[in-house]
């Protein structure tokens, strides 16, 4: 709490100066109020037209239209500051400079080896072209149904690091987990290993700040915050929600697990913490290395030496038989794109599902297109299920998630709540042939506003592991039933209001 208070105190002077400037401006302009009101009304009209024709999520547009039409001046200012992706231009310019230096070449898109599954081949080619990351053969992948299982392997791989260790997480919190990792990082720095750390400043605002960064730098470990939250600005909405540990460009860990003791069940603020992750080796790790170094070069003062090349695999298909375990395409989402990649991927995969489509997610605040895709799949006979937390970490967000339950349940989707505690896993599995696992929640922030990383697996052993884990977890859940419509009439207004404001949460 002390860290949050200190950060707020640093923001107050900037907000106070802005408020004082607005008050003085209003005082000077009072004689011209009628003219100003007329001009602002015209500007608000054109802003409303712009929002209507803009390609964006419907629920998000409706929210801002409601705000602007209710409070034209305040609503327009808020939209221009926080609702319009043009405010992300400072982040976009930095990333574009790095991407230009990569000198990217067109990916060697070939006929994908999908046993005649032309539709799936189209999905993969679209995803490669959209993200500029290639699908490649899996050599070895290991699935972890809990952070408790993953942490010992992370430490073992850190001990064996020879060349580089790259750490990027949304939340870092000192404790047993982080301290043990730092001990290994310090040893490796002394051995000449290239160690670097990126954390999200707002995500870690209550647990990790500039004093912690100074401690790392005293140990010789370079560490940078993503998008420091030092004042109210248009880029504050865009957070680095990615989670990855990359060792020697040969081993990568990812999933929902942050670097904090609750993620390995050493602390239990919300009951048992159910999370998932994976470890992958070989060629697919190059995608993770490139993702990390792209951010490092964009947001650090210490750039990677030499040209940062995009990963390409001209001989991706097939891998040697003794190491082959299906395929994976690891990529990252960016709010700077016009099209939300993971949101569109889920919609696309749901349209191809024939037997089942199961989701782990801690939050459930869907855009209309993804919600319609789930309901359409369920209504044509696909078994669509969602596992949610039984104990919330944020009560208001949990209540907002529940405001989506009734329409999904009446549409034929089954929802389960994990009674032992909190579900933080972010996974999707369908038809025993495709799965995704990464950092993407089924809420507006993850799908549209955050930088995320996700891995799409095809015909890999990890798919069966995710399915088995889903079944085992569901056995510890309580199924949610549709509300009786007579009693639901008492709460549907509240649910409707919460769903309107869900894009802000």
pLDDT digit string, tens, across residues 310-367: 665 544 444 555 678 999 999 999 988 878 999 999 999 999 999 999 999 999 999 8
Structure confidence at residue 300 as a pLDDT band (50, 70, 90)? confident
Hunting for tokens 């401690």 — which residue is that?
A: 215
Reduce the DSSP state of residue 200 to 3 states and report it: strand
| Segments making up each domain of the chain, as ranges | 2-83, 90-333, 341-504
Predicted local confidence at residue 337, as pLDDT: 81
User: Sign of torsion, CA 441 442 443 447?
Assistant: positive
Q: 18-27, 77-86, 279-288, 412-421: which range is least confident on average? A: 18-27
> Which tokens belong to 375?
């309901």
The backbone torsions φ and ψ at residue 423, rounded to the nearest 5 degrees and listed phi first, read -100, 120
pLDDT digit string, tens, across residues 224-267: 999 887 655 657 778 999 999 999 999 999 999 999 999 999 99
pLDDT digit string, tens, across residues 419-445: 999 999 999 999 999 999 999 999 999
H-type alpha helices, 160-252: 176-190, 210-218
Q: Which CATH architecture has domain 341-504?
A: 2-Layer Sandwich (3.30)
Q: Which CATH architecture has domain 90-333?
A: 2-Layer Sandwich (3.30)
> Which tokens belong to 20?
């004082």
User: Sign of torsion, CA 229 235 239 240?
Assistant: negative
Comparing 90-333 with 341-504, is the CATH topology the same? yes
pLDDT digit string, tens, across residues 37-73: 677 667 777 777 776 777 777 766 676 777 777 767 6
pLDDT digit string, tens, across residues 29-38: 677 667 766 7
Rounded Cα gap, residues 114 and 117, in angstroms: 5
Taking all residues of the chain, what is their mean pLDDT, rounded to a whole number?
Answer: 85
Neighbours of 313 (CB within 10 A): 17
pLDDT at 7 over 50: no
Rounded Cα gap, residues 465 and 10, in angstroms: 47
Mean pLDDT of 4-26: 55
The enclosing H or E element of 129 equals helix 118-131
CA torsion 347→348→351→354, rounded to 10°?
-110
The backbone torsions φ and ψ at residue 5, rounded to the nearest 5 degrees and listed phi first, read -60, -45
């Amino acid at each position: 709490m002390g860290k949050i208070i200190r950060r707020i105190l640093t923001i107050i002077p900037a907000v106070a100066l802005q408020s004082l400037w607005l008050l003085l401006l209003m005082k000077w302009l009072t004689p011209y109020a009628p003219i100003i009101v007329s001009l602002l009304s015209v500007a608000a009209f054109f802003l409303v037209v712009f929002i209507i024709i803009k390609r964006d999520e419907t629920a998000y547009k409706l929210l801002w239209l409601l705000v602007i039409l209710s409070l034209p001046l305040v609503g327009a200012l808020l939209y221009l500051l926080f609702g319009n992706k043009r405010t992300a231009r400072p982040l976009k310019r930095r990333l574009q400079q790095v991407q230009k230096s990569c000198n990217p070449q067109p990916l060697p898109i070939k006929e994908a080896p999908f046993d005649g599954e032309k539709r799936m081949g189209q999905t993969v080619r679209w995803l490669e072209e959209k993200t500029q990351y290639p699908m490649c053969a899996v050599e070895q992948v290991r699935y972890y149904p809990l952070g408790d299982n993953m942490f010992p392997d992370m430490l073992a791989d850190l001990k064996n690091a020879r060349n580089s260790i790259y750490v990027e997480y949304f939340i870092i919190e000192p404790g047993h987990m982080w301290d043990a990792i730092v001990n290994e990082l310090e040893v490796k720095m002394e051995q000449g290993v290239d160690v670097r750390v990126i954390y999200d400043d707002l995500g870690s605002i209550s647990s990790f700040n500039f004093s912690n960064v100074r401690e790392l730098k005293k140990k010789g470990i370079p560490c940078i915050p993503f998008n420091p939250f030092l004042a109210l600005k248009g880029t504050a909405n865009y957070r680095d929600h990615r989670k990855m540990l990359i060792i020697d460009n040969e081993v990568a860990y990812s999933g929902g697990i942050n670097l904090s003791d609750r993620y390995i069940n050493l602390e239990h603020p919300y009951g048992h913490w159910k999370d998932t992750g994976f470890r992958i080796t070989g060629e697919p790790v190059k995608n993770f290395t490139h993702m990390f170094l792209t951010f490092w070069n964009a947001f650090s003062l210490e750039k990677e030496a030499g040209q940062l090349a995009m990963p390409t695999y001209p001989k991706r298909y097939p891998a040697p038989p003794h190491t082959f375990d299906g395929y994976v395409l690891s990529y990252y989402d960016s709010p700077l794109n016009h099209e939300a990649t993971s949101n569109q991927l889920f919609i696309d995969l749901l349209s191809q599902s024939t037997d089942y489509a199961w989701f782990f997610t801690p939050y459930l605040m869907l855009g209309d297109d993804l919600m319609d895709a789930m309901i359409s799949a369920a209504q044509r006979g696909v078994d669509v299920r969602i596992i949610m937390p039984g104990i919330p970490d944020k009560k208001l967000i949990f209540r907002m998630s529940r405001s989506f339950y009734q329409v999904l349940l009446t549409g034929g989707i089954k929802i389960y709540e994990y009674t032992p505690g909190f579900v933080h896993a972010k996974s999707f599995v369908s038809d025993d042939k495709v799965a995704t696992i990464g950092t993407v929640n089924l809420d507006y922030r993850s799908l549209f506003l955050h930088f995320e990383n996700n891995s799409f697996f095809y015909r890999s052993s990890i798919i069966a592991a995710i399915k088995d884990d889903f079944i085992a977890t569901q056995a510890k859940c309580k199924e949610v039933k549709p509300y009786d419509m007579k009693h639901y009439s008492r709460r549907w207004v509240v649910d409707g209001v919460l769903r309107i404001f869900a894009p802000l949460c």
